[in-house]
Structure 1
Amino acid sequence: MDLDGRPIKPITICMIGAGGFIGSHLCEKLMSETPHKVLALDVYNDKIKHLLEPDSLPWAGRIQFHRLNIKHDSRLEGLIKMADLTINLAAICTPADYNTRPLDTIYSNFIDALPVVKYCSENNKRLIHFSTCEVYGKTIQSFLPKDSPLRQDPAYYVLKEDVSPCIFGSIEKQRWSYACAKQLIERLIYAEGAENGLEFTIVRPFNWIGPRMDFIPGIDGPSEGVPRVLACFSNVCRTS
């Protein structure tokens, strides 16, 4: 039932990156709480195997796994055409990766997403694209002297989506390749909407953490811990 108590009309969702951290949890939610069908696209399916194997589960037949890499697979457009909605979660988004693999990061977050946007636009399919909070860049406060009284002024450290200036690091700071690639694909999606009528939603996660998160031992955090800033901080507090 929807919020008004009416039955939910089943739709087909093409989920790109369904085998990842966010995608696997989203697949679980869709299977257990909605009547929708999911075309799950990814290179790996380890995190959603429990949804695919048992025939006795209530959602048997409502989720199909398609093993493909969107970089070079001719099946992509056909699968987007089959669906009512496309969710794009595919990305390199681990700090250790985009610090050391800037080319892969730029391709994954911008170049490889171009066909997804194109096919959704050309076939009149709504797109939900997962971006990142990093598109907001730095705040003005980060450039102020530590003893400056202006550092306490919210105008210098509070980010406002449509007002705050976008401040990124210099070109040689490779960690900004992720934020810049994500922002550029957002701008392209917005332009497709303005010029060609693409219906879209952009999601900007802020440090989502939880089970099945990608982790590179000793790089993203302690070798026995979990990745990303908040998770590493929590792990340090737990072990200290």
Structure 2
Amino acid sequence: MLELRHVSKSFGQKQVLQEISLHVSNGEFVSVIGPSGSGKSTMFSLIGGLLEPDAGEIYLSGENITNKRGFISYMPQQASLFPWRTIMENVLVGQELQGKKDYERAEAMLERAGLGDVIHAYPHELSGGMKQRVAFIRALLSPQSLMLLDEPFSALDEFTRTDMQKWLLSIWEDDEQSILFITHNIDEALFLSDKIIILSVNPAEIKEVIEVPFKRPRDEELLLSEEFLQWKRRIMEVIQF
């Protein structure tokens, strides 16, 4: 699916990423975690073709997409909805850019997300959690097979965040698109992921790749289990040392 091969990136004299090699398989949920300033968002910009690496190559399904755009769908930290467009019009943006709009599927997805009553509403009429659901459905409805999610729940309160994590898993487990997910939250990474990539900082290198052992489907009880806490301690140790 997605493969980064020895990717490096500098800005001026500052080396941000150094020799990053990683792989995301079809239908896999992979989280990237590391200290602030470790180059996670830079990595996303490289994958999306917004930046060109100084060295290395990026492949998607065997095709070299280095410095090319239009191959991934993206969900940023903020919902970034168009305020002048209805919820239905917002979720269809990705399809619209490709010249095809599937209203029936969009309506079904919005219904499943509990947004069936607001498809003709505007973003200012929705709560923060509802806006994030709209943004995720927009990414999911885009024709690309890989989604990049950049800390999409960081601005939400703890209760809403937990609800959104469970909702995301329920949608993803049915759709099985490949996801690369940035987070600073260890609990979130463990709860959601199949695999966790831990980055160092200055410059960022891959310190360790954790294969998450928990079976799916997952529920909130996992967060309080002894095994979960043991894995959390291990990840904290890797990040700190």
For normalisation by structure 2, the TM-score amounts to: 0.27
Structure with bigger strand share is: 2
For normalisation by structure 1, the TM-score amounts to: 0.27
Larger radius of gyration: 1
State the structure with bigger RCO (CA 8 A, min sep 6), 1 or 2: 2
